[in-house]
Protein backbone atom coordinates (compact mmCIF):
# COMPACT_ATOMS: atom_id res chain seq x y z
CA UNK A 1 0.00 0.00 0.00
CA UNK A 2 1.21 3.48 -0.88
CA UNK A 3 0.07 6.93 0.22
CA UNK A 4 -0.17 9.69 -2.40
CA UNK A 5 -0.50 13.44 -1.91
CA UNK A 6 -3.54 13.61 -4.18
CA UNK A 7 -7.32 13.57 -4.25
CA UNK A 8 -9.60 10.75 -5.35
CA UNK A 9 -13.20 11.13 -6.47
CA UNK A 10 -15.53 8.33 -7.56
CA UNK A 11 -17.15 9.30 -10.85
CA UNK A 12 -19.97 6.95 -11.82
CA UNK A 13 -18.52 4.57 -9.21
CA UNK A 14 -14.98 4.53 -10.61
CA UNK A 15 -12.02 6.11 -8.83
CA UNK A 16 -10.15 9.00 -10.41
CA UNK A 17 -6.79 9.82 -8.82
CA UNK A 18 -6.08 13.55 -9.17
CA UNK A 19 -2.38 14.42 -8.86
CA UNK A 20 -0.45 17.65 -9.17
CA UNK A 21 1.87 20.12 -7.51
CA UNK A 22 0.77 21.74 -4.23
CA UNK A 23 -1.71 24.55 -4.86
CA UNK A 24 -2.44 23.63 -8.50
CA UNK A 25 -6.11 22.87 -7.82
CA UNK A 26 -6.53 19.21 -6.85
CA UNK A 27 -9.14 19.97 -4.20
CA UNK A 28 -10.81 22.58 -6.41
CA UNK A 29 -11.31 20.05 -9.22
CA UNK A 30 -12.44 17.47 -6.65
CA UNK A 31 -15.10 19.90 -5.38
CA UNK A 32 -16.38 20.51 -8.91
CA UNK A 33 -16.60 16.75 -9.47
CA UNK A 34 -18.47 16.39 -6.16
CA UNK A 35 -20.84 19.15 -7.25
CA UNK A 36 -21.50 17.13 -10.42
CA UNK A 37 -22.54 14.02 -8.49
CA UNK A 38 -19.19 12.40 -7.66
CA UNK A 39 -18.40 10.88 -4.27
CA UNK A 40 -15.34 11.71 -2.19
CA UNK A 41 -12.93 8.84 -1.72
CA UNK A 42 -10.04 10.89 -0.32
CA UNK A 43 -8.65 14.42 -0.28
CA UNK A 44 -5.04 15.37 0.38
CA UNK A 45 -3.89 11.81 1.18
CA UNK A 46 -4.96 8.78 -0.85
CA UNK A 47 -4.12 5.22 0.14
CA UNK A 48 -3.69 2.94 -2.90
CA UNK A 49 -3.34 -0.82 -2.79
CA UNK A 50 -3.03 -3.29 -5.62
CA UNK A 51 -4.54 -6.75 -5.57
CA UNK A 52 -5.53 -9.22 -8.31
CA UNK A 53 -4.78 -6.71 -11.06
CA UNK A 54 -6.96 -3.98 -9.52
CA UNK A 55 -6.08 -0.79 -7.69
CA UNK A 56 -8.23 0.26 -4.76
CA UNK A 57 -8.17 3.79 -3.33
CA UNK A 58 -9.30 4.89 0.12
CA UNK A 59 -8.68 7.62 2.69
CA UNK A 60 -6.78 7.37 5.95
CA UNK A 61 -9.36 6.93 8.72
CA UNK A 62 -8.67 10.40 10.20
CA UNK A 63 -9.42 12.12 6.86
CA UNK A 64 -12.36 10.01 5.63
CA UNK A 65 -15.22 12.18 4.37
CA UNK A 66 -13.30 15.47 4.69
CA UNK A 67 -12.35 17.84 1.88
CA UNK A 68 -10.54 21.19 1.96
CA UNK A 69 -12.55 24.05 0.50
CA UNK A 70 -10.62 27.30 0.15
CA UNK A 71 -12.59 30.04 1.83
CA UNK A 72 -14.62 27.59 3.96
CA UNK A 73 -12.03 25.31 5.52
CA UNK A 74 -12.47 21.57 6.05
CA UNK A 75 -15.99 20.32 5.27
CA UNK A 76 -17.77 16.95 5.11
CA UNK A 77 -18.70 15.54 1.71
CA UNK A 78 -20.65 12.54 0.38
CA UNK A 79 -18.21 9.66 0.69
CA UNK A 80 -17.42 6.35 -0.98
CA UNK A 81 -15.08 4.55 1.44
CA UNK A 82 -13.22 2.68 -1.32
CA UNK A 83 -13.14 2.85 -5.11
CA UNK A 84 -11.50 0.92 -7.89
CA UNK A 85 -9.08 3.26 -9.66
CA UNK A 86 -9.81 3.62 -13.36
CA UNK A 87 -8.00 6.81 -14.36
CA UNK A 88 -5.09 9.04 -13.38
CA UNK A 89 -5.45 12.79 -13.87
CA UNK A 90 -2.22 14.79 -13.78
CA UNK A 91 -2.91 18.50 -13.35
CA UNK A 92 -0.66 20.84 -15.30
CA UNK A 93 -0.39 24.64 -15.55
CA UNK A 94 -2.27 26.42 -18.31
CA UNK A 95 -0.58 25.94 -21.67
CA UNK A 96 1.25 22.74 -20.70
CA UNK A 97 -1.38 20.21 -21.74
CA UNK A 98 -1.50 19.02 -25.32
CA UNK A 99 -4.50 19.51 -27.52
CA UNK A 100 -4.08 16.08 -29.13
CA UNK A 101 -2.00 13.99 -26.71
CA UNK A 102 -0.17 10.82 -27.57
CA UNK A 103 -1.30 7.67 -25.77
CA UNK A 104 -0.17 7.65 -22.15
CA UNK A 105 -0.48 5.54 -19.06
CA UNK A 106 0.95 5.36 -15.58
CA UNK A 107 2.01 2.29 -13.63
CA UNK A 108 0.82 2.37 -10.02
CA UNK A 109 1.62 -0.53 -7.69
CA UNK A 110 2.66 -2.50 -10.80
CA UNK A 111 -0.70 -1.96 -12.55
CA UNK A 112 -1.06 0.27 -15.66
CA UNK A 113 -3.82 2.88 -15.73
CA UNK A 114 -4.74 5.39 -18.42
CA UNK A 115 -3.50 8.90 -17.68
CA UNK A 116 -4.54 12.26 -19.03
CA UNK A 117 -3.17 15.73 -18.33
CA UNK A 118 -5.54 18.64 -17.90
CA UNK A 119 -5.47 22.23 -16.73
CA UNK A 120 -7.60 22.23 -13.57
CA UNK A 121 -9.00 25.75 -13.73
CA UNK A 122 -10.53 25.49 -17.19
CA UNK A 123 -14.32 25.62 -17.00
CA UNK A 124 -14.53 22.25 -18.78
CA UNK A 125 -12.06 20.37 -16.54
CA UNK A 126 -14.69 18.46 -14.51
CA UNK A 127 -16.66 17.65 -17.66
CA UNK A 128 -13.49 16.31 -19.32
CA UNK A 129 -12.88 13.99 -16.34
CA UNK A 130 -16.48 12.70 -16.40
CA UNK A 131 -16.30 12.14 -20.18
CA UNK A 132 -13.01 10.25 -19.84
CA UNK A 133 -14.44 7.92 -17.17
CA UNK A 134 -17.62 7.30 -19.17
CA UNK A 135 -15.60 6.61 -22.31
CA UNK A 136 -13.53 3.98 -20.49
CA UNK A 137 -16.60 2.50 -18.77
CA UNK A 138 -18.26 2.04 -22.17
CA UNK A 139 -15.23 0.14 -23.51
CA UNK A 140 -13.76 3.11 -25.35
CA UNK A 141 -10.14 4.18 -25.59
CA UNK A 142 -8.71 7.51 -24.54
CA UNK A 143 -6.01 9.33 -26.48
CA UNK A 144 -4.08 8.98 -23.22
CA UNK A 145 -4.37 5.19 -22.84
CA UNK A 146 -2.01 2.32 -23.71
CA UNK A 147 -1.92 -1.46 -23.59
CA UNK A 148 -3.96 -3.19 -20.90
CA UNK A 149 -4.93 0.19 -19.49
CA UNK A 150 -7.39 0.58 -22.40
CA UNK A 151 -9.43 -2.45 -21.33
CA UNK A 152 -13.02 -1.60 -20.50
CA UNK A 153 -13.69 -0.98 -16.84
CA UNK A 154 -16.62 -2.60 -15.10
CA UNK A 155 -17.85 -3.50 -11.64
CA UNK A 156 -17.46 -0.38 -9.52
CA UNK A 157 -16.70 -0.95 -5.86
CA UNK A 158 -19.69 0.19 -3.83
Question: Does residue 76 have an active-site annotation?
Answer: no
- In the set 19, 28, 32, 44, the catalytic residue is 44
Question: Does residue 121 have an active-site annotation?
Answer: no
- In the set 5, 70, 122, 134, the catalytic residue is 5
Question: Does residue 5 have an active-site annotation?
Answer: yes
Question: Does residue 105 have an active-site annotation?
Answer: no
- In the set 19, 26, 32, 39, the catalytic residue is 26
CA angle 151, 89, 17 (to 5 degrees): 85
Q: Indicate which residues carry an active-site annotation.
A: 5, 26, 44, 99
Amino acid sequence: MSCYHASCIAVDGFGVLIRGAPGIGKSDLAIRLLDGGGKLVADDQVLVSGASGLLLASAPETLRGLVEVRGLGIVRAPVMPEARLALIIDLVPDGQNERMPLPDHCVVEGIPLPRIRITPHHASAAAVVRLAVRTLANGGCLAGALGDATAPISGATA
